[in-house]
Amino acid sequence: MLDFENRGGGPLRKSNLLKLLSIIFAFALIAAACGGDDDDSGSSSDSSVLGEDSSEEEASASASASEPADKEEDHDHSDDDGHDHSDDEDHSDEAAGTADDSTMGDGAELWESIVDGGVVEADESAEPILITLVNIEGTPVGSFPEIREGAEAAVQTINETMGGLNGRPFELESCVHGLDPNEATACANEIADAQPNLHIQGIDFFNPLLWPTFVGAGLPVLQTVPIFIEDFDTEGILSTEGGCVSSFPTAMEYGVETLAADKFVIIYSNTAPGLVCYEDTEARMIQQLTDEGKIAQEDWIGVVDASGDPTDNDAVVQQVLEFVEGAENAWVFFGIQASDCNEIMSALAANGYEGGIVTSGACRDDSVLANPASAGVHFGSNLGIPERPDLWSDYKVKYYEWREASLDRYGPTVPQSAFMEVAHDVVITGLLQMIMFDAMGGDVDNDPAGFIEFMATQSNMHRAGSETPLDCTTNSSEFVSVCAKDMGYYPWTGPGGQFEYGPLGPSNLDSSELILRAAEGNPRPTS
């Protein structure tokens, strides 16, 4: 077993801190810059979905209460998922058939078959599948233990209920570090030496420093939250989460094409990720739409907001009001942190703004939803209409109840968050990919290049918990690492109300084509 030490908490050299302070402080607001890759579970916990008691009586009772399968499974997983289905136990009445590979991506039915197959423990005596994680924790300006705990919960569930990989247990080794790039680099070197079967990159302020080490070592890498240009365009790493890449191009399309704004304002953060994401995933994308004649050059504008500083709100709102004067269908978009969303919404309302507002998922928290100015705002969400299980599919209800039970079973020590759920889903996605790679004759131990190529060349990949398949083959050279490029938008009725379907209905807007067109018409400037 690797002996990864916790490198957080050591003193920083003053020179390093001064050089990094502006970037580090900015990245404490990662969720604001990349907001939108949120989660909408809202489901109550149900430990039975994990089969906490493996007795045949309780399994049978759970099965009889479930909806019968509407079709037979297409796969026999007795050979490829570690489950022995040769016993006499009858699972014919279990809830099955809620997943569909053809519409949700390859791996959805696999997940359901494993869960419906009953509790299967991994063989702890078997050689483990090594999973590694790098994450920043324990610093006053950036600490994300929920990422690590989400991954740990997924590994525990895999080992205790899902049978691991053909009986082999998962072993997670986390390397946690603080604000020192040397600590982050040391983590990368140790993990490269360990040669894990899969590396999960948590939230890290030093990703650009680490990618060459991971790629050079040939490691299969899945990201949780892509936030840098290098996270977007480094070959050999992959992200099933979109971050800025799913949040912002879709918002440009939504405002210009779906809502047909005659004046469109983009409010963006002055933080390092905010500036990067604005230039790369907002300004370039709306400029492409402008060049295509879908909005006039003079009809859109970017307005910068001082993150965490309410003293500039009046100036921001004044710019908005002056720009939209005389418009018949003005819309403002912002993907900034929730506190800034709240303040700007209130300031717009107080100053008589009568146009529409669209936000990323970063703005969707309880404080914002309780603000009277939030009524009618369209919020982004990549996993369907938020907090409306009455409108969810059977699959979504089933998955979210199962995941909630997984997290509860683990017993996290920090509050559950979207980041915790994202990390959990990424690990589960990794498991499904390993099972399918193994089933087709792949070698997860000796062919890491083949495994990452297997994932990167999929055109119908299931992202755990999502009903929208990922197509990694449409990635442009500018976003070669990011497969998720879709987002839904849902109006909020106001405090005490609910989300409703908007112009898109239950569908997500996919900006893959816009991103490809922008790569040709408005390419990223080379430095």
Q: What is the DSSP string of 237-275?
A: EEESS-THHHHHHHHHHIIIIIS--SEEEEEEESSHHHH
Give the amino acid at 276.
Answer: V
Does the pLDDT value for residue 228 go beyond 90? no
What is the average pLDDT across 208-232?
94
Does the pLDDT value for residue 10 go beyond 70? no
pLDDT of residue 384: 83
3-state SS class at 518: helix
Helices (H) and strands (E) in the chain, counts: 19, 12
| Closest to 499 in 3D by CA, of 339, 378, 359, 324 | 378
What is the average pLDDT across 422-436?
97
Q: What distance in Å separates the CA atoms of residue 474 and residue 238, rounded to the nearest whole number?
A: 13
Does the pLDDT value for residue 8 go beyond 70? no
> How confident is residue 386, by pLDDT bands cut at 50, 70 and 90?
confident
> How confident is residue 400, by pLDDT bands cut at 50, 70 and 90?
very high
Tokens of 92: 């014919």
**89 or 325: which leads in pLDDT:** 325
pLDDT of residue 527: 63
Give the amino acid at 317.
Answer: V
* E strand residue ranges, 165-259: 170-177, 198-201, 221-223, 237-239
Strand order in the sheet with 221-223: 170-177, 129-136, 198-201, 221-223, 237-239
Does the pLDDT value for residue 124 go beyond 80? yes
Q: What distance in Å separates the CA atoms of residue 349 and residue 359, rounded to the nearest whole number?
A: 15
Does the pLDDT value for residue 314 go beyond 60? yes
Angle ∠(350,352,353) on CA atoms, nearest 5 = 105
> How confident is residue 96, by pLDDT bands cut at 50, 70 and 90?
low
What is the average pLDDT across 465-494?
92
Instruction: Say which range, 33-37, 88-92, 108-112, 130-134, has the weakest mean pLDDT.
Output: 88-92
* Average pLDDT of the chain to the nearest whole number: 84
pLDDT of residue 31: 43
Q: Which residue has the tokens 């790098």?
A: 134
Domains located in the chain, CATH noted: 66-241+393-483 (3.40.50.2300), 245-381+486-521 (3.40.50.2300)
What is the average pLDDT across 225-234?
90
pLDDT of residue 34: 52
What is the average pLDDT across 162-190?
97
> How confident is residue 102, by pLDDT bands cut at 50, 70 and 90?
very high
Sign of CA dihedral 243, 382, 110, 420: positive
Say which residues have a Cβ less than 8 Å from residue 391's Cβ, sequence separation at least 6. Answer: 385, 501, 506
Q: Which residue has the tokens 């001064």?
A: 18
> How confident is residue 526, by pLDDT bands cut at 50, 70 and 90?
confident
Give the amino acid at 275.
Answer: L
* pTM of the predicted model as reported, rounded to 2 decimal places: 0.74
Q: Residue 354 forms beta bridges with which residues? A: none
Does the pLDDT value for residue 479 go beyond 80? yes
Other CB atoms within 10 Å distance of the CB of residue 501:
15
What is the average pLDDT across 203-231?
93
What is the average pLDDT across 153-164?
98
| Closest to 370 in 3D by CA, of 492, 500, 268, 501 | 492
Does the pLDDT value for residue 30 go beyond 70? no
Whole-number percent of the chain with pLDDT over 70: 81
> How confident is residue 191, by pLDDT bands cut at 50, 70 and 90?
very high
What is the average pLDDT across 519-526?
92
